[in-house]
C-alpha cells in the first residue's frame, strides 16, 4: 500500500460501511483518515485507524490490532496482540505467515514461536 493511502481511504470507507451498516460513521472515518494523512503522513493514517479500532471494536480484534501496531512499527504491541489471538484461538491468525505487514517480524524468536504454535513454521 506504499504511497497509495489516498486510494485506500475510499476502500476503507466502503468496507466499514458494509461491515457496520453505518454510512455516516464510515464517511466520518474517511474524513479523519484524509485529515490525518494530510497533516501527519502515513503515521497519522495508521494511528487514526488504531484509535478507531480501540474505540469501536466489539470484542477484541487481535489480528487487526496487531496489523495496525505492525504498521506503526510497534513490534512489542503487535506480537502481544498476535500471542493473545493465538491463545484465544482466533481465526485469521494463520495469515500472519503471509501478510506483508508482519514480514519484518518473522525473524524474531517470539514470532517464530507463535508460528510454530500455529504450525506455520
| 3-class SS letters over 4-27 | CHHHHHHHHHHHHHHHHCCHHHHH
- pTM beyond cutoff 0.85: no
pLDDT at 1 (0 to 100)? 46
pLDDT of residue 120: 59
So what's the pLDDT on residue 74? 94
| Cβ(60)–Cβ(84) below 8 Å | yes
Question: By the 8 A CB rule, do 37 and 5 touch?
Answer: yes
Residue 63 neighbours by CB distance under 10 Å: 20
State residue 59's pLDDT score. 60
Joined together, the cell numbers standing for residue 42 give 502515513
| Residues of the chain falling short of pLDDT 70 | 1-3, 57-60, 120-121
Contact in structure between 36 and 43 (CB atoms under 8 Å): no
Q: At 94, phi and psi to the nearest 5?
A: -70, -20
Q: State the pLDDT at residue 72.
A: 96
Distance CA 81, CA 67 (A): 9
Amino acid at each position: 500500500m506504499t504511497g497509495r493511502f489516498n486510494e485506500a481511504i475510499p476502500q476503507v470507507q466502503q468496507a466499514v460501511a458494509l461491515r457496520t451498516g453505518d454510512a455516516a460513521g464510515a464517511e466520518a472515518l474517511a474524513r479523519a483518515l484524509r485529515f490525518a494523512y494530510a497533516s501527519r503522513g502515513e503515521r497519522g493514517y495508521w494511528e487514526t485507524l488504531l484509535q478507531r479500532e480501540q474505540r469501536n471494536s466489539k470484542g477484541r480484534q487481535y489480528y487487526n490490532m496487531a496489523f495496525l501496531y505492525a504498521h506503526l512499527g510497534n513490534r512489542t504491541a503487535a506480537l502481544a496482540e498476535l500471542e493473545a489471538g493465538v491463545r484465544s484461538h482466533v481465526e485469521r491468525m494463520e495469515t500472519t505467515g503471509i501478510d506483508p505487514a508482519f514480514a519484518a517480524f518473522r525473524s524474531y524468536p517470539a514470532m517464530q514461536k507463535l508460528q510454530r504454535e500455529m504450525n506455520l513454521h
